[in-house]
Amino acid sequence: MATTSEPKRAGGFPEGRFAGLAAWLESRMPLSGVLEFLRHKEVPWHKGTFLYLFGGIALLLFGVQVVTGILLMFYYVPAADQAYESILLISAQVPFGWLIRSIHSWSANLMILALFIHLFSVYFMRAYRPPRELIWVSGFILLVLSMTFGFSGYLLPWTKLSYFATKIGTDVTKVIPVVGEGMRNFLLGANEISGPTLTRFFALHVAILPPIFTIVLGLHLLLIQLLGMSQPIGGAKGKGIPFVPNFVLRESIVWVIVLGLLAVLSVYLPWEVGEKADPLAPAPAGIRPEWFFTFMSQSLKYIPPKVLGMEGEALGIYAIGAGGLIFFLVPFWDGWARQGKRHWLVTGFGAVVIVFLVTMTLLAYLKPY
């Protein structure tokens, strides 16, 4: 057993029996600069650093989504008269099909939850301040894309619940003046949810969103590596720890815990198949969209049909959209953060957004209107 570390050449590749292979690889795939960068990269370590780990958790769960999604595609049929039956086949006859489907569903929900936690932690730590505005922008876009992933994938099993929940979601677009009805018809491919809708949602889910998400994710990760993680405002500059191996090992331990949690949820709380969708049947009582959209549908129920001569639902959509836009643009209007200061207005706005999201979501499940 070697008791001393092997000597290293310039570029970080070891001398010795692997020197020839390393030189061959370096001449065809020059990565010595990347290795040098990672070797000297440090991550600030302070009491809020653990919140950064949620970004890595979301990345892990996205990888799980890709792998399990590809496996499901071998058996899933995106047709209105076969989609539900293919889900039954996956769940009952394909070896471990029920487990793959359950992992896919649970990881999708946990990924969106991790992204919400990561986004709000970045917000309250003001980690979006210069020069990291584009990291915030790309991260916000990733959350929106993830929610769109969830929305498009929810209909694919063609169950009663997914059918009517999707109907609620698509009907919301009708209240948008001028373009709303056209947007809804384009999304559905017909006047109502039907076979063309399922085909379009499947194409959106597996062919359109993945490359867009991958590009934005690549940009997000590249900017993080180039600009590094931010230090918290007001606190003493924390000591840094090496990215490799210290931070990578910490993140790896968290990933193992998350994978364990995902396995437990998937095995002991398997994702149900439900009943097949029947477009002619009435909507079941208490129907609601997926949990990350319920804040919107629930809040619209409290708005009167007419407010100052305007459609109540349209006014609600505008208000939610305006709030989301203000949140999205926070790096550009929070001048206090640019000066290295915290301001109660920014903190208060973030707190109001969280209270609103949590309250409306809980009301949707505990006390539906």
Amino acid, res. 235: G
Q: What is the pLDDT of residues 97-138, one digit of tens each?
A: 999 999 999 999 999 999 999 999 999 999 999 999 999 999
Amino acid found at 40:
H
Give yes or no for a contact between 255 and 56, defined as CB atoms under 8 angstroms apart: yes
First vs last C-alpha separation in the chain = 70
pTM beyond cutoff 0.85: yes
Q: What is the pLDDT of residue 8?
A: 53
271 near 101, Cβ under 8 Å? yes
CB of 302 closer than 8 Å to CB of 360: no
pLDDT of residue 237: 64
Give CA 150 to chain center in angstroms.
9
pLDDT at residue 28 in the model: 83
DSSP H or E stretch at residue 249: helix 248-268
Residue ranges of the chain with pLDDT lower than 50?
Answer: 1-6, 10
Query: In terms of Cα–Cα distance, which of 148, 122, 145 is closest to 53?
Result: 122
- Backbone dihedral angles phi then psi of residue 285, each to the nearest 5 degrees: -65, 145
Q: How many Cα atoms occupy the beta-carbon half-sphere of 197 within 13 Å? A: 27
Output phi, psi for 306, to 5 deg: -125, 130
Tens of pLDDT, residues 30-64: 778 888 887 888 888 777 777 888 999 999 999 99
CA–CA dist 290, 149 (Å, integer): 12
Omega cis (within 30) before 196: no
Handedness of CA 124, 129, 132, 135 (dihedral sign): positive
CB under 8 Å to 280, separation ≥6 — which residues? none
pLDDT at 313: 83
Structure tokens at 234: 């007001």
3-state DSSP assignment of residue 99? helix
Give the span between the Cα atoms of 187 and 240, in whole angstroms. 48
Closest C-alpha to 316, from 283, 287, 356 = 356
